[in-house]
């Protein structure tokens, strides 16, 4: 299995996130990726590669891939956000940008069709939480991460059974024109769309992160060519709260092409695996020809911001179950905040997949 890892990920290092009225140390840290990379070096599954970030053709292809899943105004905002933040006050160069005001476009007549020129207002308009610090290197890191997702997808389109995009910041909470949940560019959506553009007629995204993939759902919610499936903590009690309910089935042409499997806090392996079986059956019923797996490892019992009770050994079987779908598969690295264990857990999934997929 080829792994494409992000050489720019350390450019994104948040100082703090807002959590229930307090500024706390960020859970999403560079060590997350470093532990996975170290484990892949200890237990090699295939070559460790970095995507091309310098050539003009690669850069043009990456920009085109980003534009297929995110709005032009949102991408322009991210690209220029740090410069605008510092322009507001030179002292801002020493602190992260966190939003503090938001419109409510579906309630009380708040307008988003005419965005203010004030940067702080637009920062809020493009975000849905105050826990995702935007830093000097966020855009560079997120863009390079999308390059990993695109390179992994191109490898699968070229005939690889699977490939892994090892990158941070993660992506599955980022929507067409919003960031949040530590996510700025939706790497899984980039992969799914690139599979479609590469000639795959029907693509499934199966999100196994503890937190609902609200951004991915939003991007594909009205489409019939991409099935989105997510098993996650029940949004009645778990972040991101405002999407992820079982009655969200898609809309318009996408009616029936979204499946949410919310599970209660405290869920253990047996119940979680039953939900995974239901998810994989939905993928088979859809007739998917390729699979994207947003690989969140925050289902682990020791995760500090989640609530399921899976253990490290369980992830080997999860990887094998995913391989049982029999589909070319792109993995994108998402959550997992028990930092010391995230490397073992991630590589267990990939190893379980690779062993089960071997001829």
pLDDT tens digits, 53-77: 989 999 999 999 999 999 999 999 9
Q: Is 232 a catalytic residue?
A: no
| C-alpha 147, offset from chain centre | 14
Q: Give the pLDDT score at 112.
A: 79
Taking only the tens place, the pLDDT of each residue in 243-252 is: 999 999 999 9
Q: Give the pLDDT score at 114.
A: 84
| C-alpha 25, offset from chain centre | 21
Mean pLDDT across 110-121: 87
Task: Determine how many CB atoms are found less than 10 A away from the CB of residue 113.
Answer: 5
The mean predicted confidence, pLDDT, of the chain is: 96
Which residue ranges make up each domain of the chain?
Answer: 2-357
CATH for the 2-357 domain, from 3.40.800.20, 3.40.50.1110, 3.40.47.10, 3.40.50.150 = 3.40.800.20
Cis amide bond preceding 292, omega within 30: no
Handedness of CA 343, 348, 349, 354 (dihedral sign): positive
Does the pLDDT value for residue 133 go beyond 90? Answer: yes
Residue 308, token pair as written in the block: 């399921």
Residue 230, token pair as written in the block: 């997510």
Does the pLDDT value for residue 108 go beyond 80? Answer: no
- CB contact at 8 A, 189 and 27: no
- CB contact at 8 A, 147 and 62: yes
- pLDDT: which is higher, 114 or 159: 159
State the Cα–Cα distance between residues 150 and 224, nearest whole angstrom.
22
- Give the predicted TM-score (pTM) of the model: 0.97
For the chain, what is the radius of gyration of the CA atoms? 19
What residue ranges in the chain does DSSP mark as E strands?
Answer: 2-5, 16-19, 22-25, 48-49, 162-166, 203-207, 226-233, 258-263, 290-295, 329-333
Taking only the tens place, the pLDDT of each residue in 135-162 is: 999 999 999 999 999 999 999 999 999 9
Q: Give the pLDDT score at 359.
A: 81
* Pick from 108-117, 249-258, 294-303: least confident: 108-117
State the Cα–Cα distance between residues 333 and 346, nearest whole angstrom.
8
| Conformational region of residue 25, where left means phi above 0, alpha means psi within -120 to 50, and beta covers everything else | beta
Residue 161, token pair as written in the block: 């059974």
Q: Give the pLDDT score at 245.
A: 98
Taking only the tens place, the pLDDT of each residue in 259-293 is: 999 999 999 999 999 999 999 999 999 999 999 99
Q: Give the pLDDT score at 104.
A: 82
- CB contact at 8 A, 46 and 3: yes
Give 151's Cβ-side CA count (13 Å radius): 24
Q: Which of 5, 12, 70, 173 is catalytic?
A: 173
Mean pLDDT across 110-128: 90
Q: Give the pLDDT score at 187.
A: 98
Q: Give the pLDDT score at 218.
A: 98
Does the pLDDT value for residue 308 go beyond 90? Answer: yes
Does the pLDDT value for residue 253 go beyond 80? Answer: yes
Mean pLDDT across 182-192: 98
């Amino acid at each position: 299995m080829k792994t494409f890892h992000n050489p720019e990920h350390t450019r994104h290092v948040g100082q703090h996130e807002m959590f229930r009225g307090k500024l706390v140390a960020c859970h999403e840290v560079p060590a997350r990726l470093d532990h996975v990379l170290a484990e892949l070096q200890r237990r090699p599954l295939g070559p460790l590669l970095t995507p091309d970030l310098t050539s003009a053709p690669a850069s043009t292809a990456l920009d085109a891939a980003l534009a297929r899943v995110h709005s032009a105004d949102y991408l322009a905002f991210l690209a220029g956000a740090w410069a605008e933040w510092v322009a507001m006050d030179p002292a801002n160069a020493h602190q992260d940008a966190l939003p503090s005001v938001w419109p409510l476009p579906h309630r009380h007549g708040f307008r988003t069709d005419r965005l203010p020129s004030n940067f702080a207002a637009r920062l809020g308009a493009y975000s849905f939480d105050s826990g995702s610090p935007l830093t000097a290197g966020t855009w560079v890191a997120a863009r390079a991460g999308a390059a990993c997702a695109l390179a992994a997808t191109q490898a699968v389109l070229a005939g690889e059974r699977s490939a892994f995009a090892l990158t941070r910041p993660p992506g599955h909470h980022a929507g067409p024109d919003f960031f949040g949940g530590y996510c700025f560019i939706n790497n899984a959506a980039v992969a799914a769309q690139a599979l479609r553009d590469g000639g795959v007629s029907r693509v499934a995204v199966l999100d196994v992160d503890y937190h609902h993939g609200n951004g991915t759902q939003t991007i594909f919610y009205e489409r019939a060519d991409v099935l989105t499936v997510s098993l996650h903590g029940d949004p009645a009690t778990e972040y991101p709260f405002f999407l992820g309910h079982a009655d969200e089935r898609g809309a318009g042409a996408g009616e029936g092409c979204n499946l949410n499997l919310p599970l209660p806090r405290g869920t253990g392996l047996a119940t979680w695996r039953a939900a995974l079986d239901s998810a994989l059956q939905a993928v088979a019923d859809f007739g998917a020809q390729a699979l994207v797996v947003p690989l969140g490892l925050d289902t682990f019992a020791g995760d500090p911001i989640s609530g399921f009770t899976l253990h490290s050994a369980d992830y080997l079987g999860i990887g094998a179950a995913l391989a049982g779908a029999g589909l070319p598969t792109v993995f994108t690295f998402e959550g997992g905040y028990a930092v010391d264990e995230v490397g073992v857990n991630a590589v267990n999934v990939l190893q379980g997949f690779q062993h089960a997929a071997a001829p």
